[in-house]
Amino acid sequence: MSESPVTGRPGQGIVTSEPLSQVRVLTRLIQREPETPVYYVLRGEEFLARGHIAQARADFETAQRLAETLAAQSDWGYLYQAYGDRAAAGLRCCGADD
């Protein structure tokens, strides 16, 4: 069985043989669940890995905003905080202030 692992480091993205297939999958997930920050983080990492800095930055900023809001409202706030932290790391890789 072959899986496409998600790396723990921003900028590496998801390993796949089809360059934009993961972006397409994540875009569909975002369309279905636009308030889920992890999808933006993962898609941002995909964009960053492919050198699409503007798209990556936009996704990381969205993920960070959503994660902050959800962390404040949820009993699972630490999980959303982790998404926000990962988005902030992605923004640093984009050369943006977090």
What is the chain's mean pLDDT, rounded?
84
What pLDDT is attached to residue 40? Answer: 98
CATH number of 21-94: 1.25.40.10
Q: How many residues does the chain have?
A: 98
Helices (H), 1-98: 21-32, 37-49, 53-73, 77-94
Span 20-66, pLDDT tens digits: 689 999 999 999 999 999 999 999 999 999 999 999 999 999 999 99
The domain locations on the chain are 21-94
68 has pLDDT over 50: yes
What would the mean pLDDT of 83-93 be, rounded to a whole number?
96
